[in-house]
Amino acid sequence: MGKIRCGVVGVGNCFAGLYQGLHYYKEHPEKEVIGLMHQDMAGYRTQDIEFVSAFDVASNKVGKTLDEATYAAPNMVDWAKLPKSDVIVRESPILDGVGKYVKDVINPVEENSPEQLREDINSHIKETKTEIIVSYLPVGSQKAAEFWAEICLETGAAFVNCMPVFIASDPDWESRFRKKGIPIIGDDIKGQLGATIVHRVLTRLTQDRGAELDKTYQLNVGGNTDFQNMLERSRLESKKVSKTESVQSQMKKRIPEDNIHIGPSDHVPFLKNTKLCFLYMEGRQWADIPYKIDLKLDVDDKANSAGIVVDAVRAARIALDRNYGGAIESASAYLMKHPPVQMSDSEAKMALNYFIMDREHKTGVKNQ
């Protein structure tokens, strides 16, 4: 089926987890890839994904080869030995990408204006034949996310938006992608076994079993720059909406605002890439008899979403092959926390399987 040529925006920890894993599976083709929907998705395998362009703002990443940038601090993923890459990380406009708590660790370069960079980036995307742009921008990067959505609209590259700025799930942005016939999958990638999916599935379980869920919280702590950045509460608005709606969407009747609290909660440096999630649910069963669930999840945050991104990238490539534009609703619903259309995880999985098989599709609009 050919290679899937991707570009990455934000060579941070998540990308490091994905990129090293891709290399690991290229080195070990005999291994089953853990964390995918299918090993073979309409003819595409994990090994078909290549990163042919990369963009960042950090002074120790811009101008470096992609393997060097992947290991550069404050990234903390270094479990695979990467071969030398011939991809050089290019400068991206900073805009609102760098928050006050991470400025000193990222130490951004600012050599060119966004307008100069826009031209360079557009021609680089075309020269490298980048067909899908994967965004791992930090939480709170509204303007930077919009800049990269515009780049997709200008170059025709599909967009996989792994971060919580609403592009696929914003009707105006979505219709711009649809009118241009460019696929988009978003927003805010789910983990394979992360806090959101566990919380969603347990919430759905209470509803399927006819129990009342009255109150719930989900508190998350971690030690990497993602959590350090999220100490800045003003950057968090869309992340909180994305995570909360992902759970609320599984309820028959919404939980009142005061009775649900979901969000990142603190930065504990020694945890590094370990993320701890403290999840609590309380409600009532028959005759108002109470129940409680009190759960702690302990995961490596950066391995967690990599397989989901592999599925999202392959779904984007299938959409390009089949000439679909706009939000790919099934893939967004199954793989992202804040899709344009929320479904239960089992419905979304079925819809995505139909999309992969090119049968009935609740998704995108076929270009004429």
Ligand X SMILES: NC(=O)c1ccc[n+]([C@@H]2O[C@H](COP(=O)([O-])OP(=O)(O)OC[C@H]3O[C@@H](n4cnc5c(N)ncnc54)[C@H](O)[C@@H]3O)[C@@H](O)[C@H]2O)c1
Return residues touching ligand X (CB under 6 A).
9-15, 55-58, 92-95, 97-98, 106, 136-139, 141, 144, 162-163, 188-189, 191, 224-226, 229, 301-302, 304-305
H helices of the chain, where? 13-27, 66-71, 103-106, 114-127, 142-155, 171-180, 195-208, 225-229, 237-248, 301-304, 306-321, 329-335, 345-356
Output the smallest distance, CB 45 to ligand X, in A. Answer: 22
Residue for token pair 């959101």: 196
Return the number of the residue (185 or 213) whose C-beta is nearest ligand X.
185
In the chain, the largest separation of any two C-alpha atoms, in whole Å, equals 67
Query: Which residues on adjacent β-strands are paired with residue 8?
Result: 54, 134
Q: Which is nearer to ligand X, 199 or 361 (CB)?
A: 199
Nearer to ligand X among residue 193 and residue 357 (C-beta): 193
Residue of this chain nearest to ligand X (CB atom): 12
Q: Give the burial class of 251: count Cβ atoms within 10 A of its Cβ; 0-12 exposed, 13-18 middle, 19 or more buried.
A: middle
Which pair of structure tokens corresponds to residue 96? 């609102």
Looking at beta carbons only, is 6 or 213 nearer to ligand X? 6
Residue 72 Cβ vs ligand X, minimum distance, rounded to whole Å:
8
Distance CA 261, CA 301 (A): 21
Q: Which is nearer to ligand X, 178 or 239 (CB)?
A: 239
Report, in Å, the least distance between residue 74 CB and ligand X: 7
CA distance readout (Å), 246 to 35, 135, 199, 344, 360: 20, 20, 9, 10, 25
CB of 16 or CB of 33, closer to ligand X: 16
- Residue 208 Cβ, how far from ligand X at the closest point, in Å? 26
Closer CB to ligand X, 110 or 358, in the complex: 110
Q: How far is the CB of 204 from ligand X (least distance, A)?
A: 20
* Closer of 197 and 213 to ligand X (Cβ): 197
The CB-of-22 to ligand X minimum distance in angstroms stands at 15
Q: Specify the 3-state DSSP secondary structure of 119.
A: helix
Nearer residue to ligand X within complex by CB, 188 or 329: 188
Contact call for residues 211 and 283 (beta carbons, < 8 A): yes
Query: How far is Cα 333 from Cα 200, in angstroms, rounded to an integer?
Result: 13
CB of 103 to ligand X, least distance (A): 10
Residue 105 and residue 73 in contact, taking contact as beta carbons nearer than 8 Å: yes
Shortest spacing between CB 97 and ligand X, in angstroms: 2
Instruction: Tell me if 196 sits within 8 A of 203, measured CB to CB.
Output: no
Smallest gap from Cβ 18 to ligand X, in A, equals 9
- In whole angstroms, give the CA distance from residue 285 to residue 93: 53
Residue 330's Cβ-side half-sphere holds a number of Cα atoms within 13 Å equal to 25
